[in-house]
Amino acid sequence: MSAIEQVIDGRTKDLGGFQVSRVLPWARRRMVGPFVFLDEMGPAVFPPGQGVDVRPHPHIGLATVTYLFDGEMHHFDSLGSDQTVHPGDVNLMVAGRGISHSERTREEVRARGYSLHGIQTWIALPEADESVEPSFHHHPKADLPEFEHGGAALRLILGEAYGQRAPVKTFSGIVYIHAEMAPGARFDLPEGHDALAVYLVSGEAEVGGQRIEPGQLAVLNDGETAEMRSGAGGRAMILGGQDIGKRFIEWNFVASSKELIEKAKTDWRASAAGRWQGTVFILPPGEQEYIPLPGDPEEGPPEPSKECPTT
């Protein structure tokens, strides 16, 4: 019997010369442990004058993790966090009850042109923590455990594995590893997790004797582990952890109930209508733009009607 339950192919979108491959969520697999979202960004090359400009947008009920192989990305949020992430670093933003943030290319980098390649994930918070106060945590590459295992150079991004522990804040049992596999690498995946998956970024690999291709996520049967091999070498991300229960996902909101998501939608509209002054959501300092809810006009929600309601 195969150790792999299913293999998920990423769905690629072209965002004007910048490709993003969406792997999770998928119609037949919404989560892997607490991971509810996985995007591979790039690889992309931006000519001088171009870059990433993701306007401020909201999140609730999750933690976002930005991890890069190449290039850089600048994070700015409503707490005032102002941080550039470089390859091997970790940016962890805990949305909790609500936060807004933007992701942009710094002007000096945009002017010269640059390349970008990385992974963004969302981690659902346990129900007891999904409305915690928002926070932001940055860890440079040097903070993360790096070690050799079975012919692979591993960097532990989150959680515990192989007797190592990452310093990045977590809320539930979790594992997240960047693996650079040399030709002939052969090692057992971490044990003791409700769910585990391998995303092959590049190169060649087998999981439990089954070959996977770059851009595919191999999800193991619940509670199982397997041997991973790479004849020619490759790059992979290993992820999984504790089953924290069903989550609802709509736009940028993740929650254990639809009611929390509806409240977040109402709060985002009301915050825009209130010009971000004394409202539930505010914009990062100095930001003027924002992304409206899908279906809402770009200029923001309409002003409340002054006409008498009809029945």
Per-residue pLDDT, 19: 81
pLDDT at 17: 58
- Write the CB contacts of 15 (distance below 8 Å, at least 6 apart in sequence): none
CB count in 10 Å sphere of residue 269:
17
Domains of the chain: 8-241 (2.60.120.10)
Q: How far apart are CA 7 and CA 147, in angstroms?
A: 28
State yes or no: pLDDT of 216 exceeds 60: yes
Buried b (16+ CB within 10 A) or exposed e, 219-253: bbbeebbbebbbeebbbbbbbbbbbbeebbbebbb
Of 67, 56, 65, whose CA–CA distance to 98 is shortest? 56
What's the distance, CA 235 to chain centroid?
Answer: 18
Task: Give the model's pLDDT for residue 119.
Answer: 97
The pLDDT tens digits of the residues spanning 171-205 come to 999 999 999 999 999 999 999 999 999 999 999 99
Residues 147 and 101: beta-carbon distance below 8 Å: no
Per-residue pLDDT reduced to its tens digit, 51-71 = 999 999 999 999 999 999 999
- Reported pTM: 0.92
Kindly tell me if the per-residue pLDDT of 309 is higher than 80.
no
Tell me, rounded to whole angstroms, the distance of Cα 18 from its chain centroid: 17
pLDDT one-digit tens code per residue, 246-261:
999 999 999 999 999 9
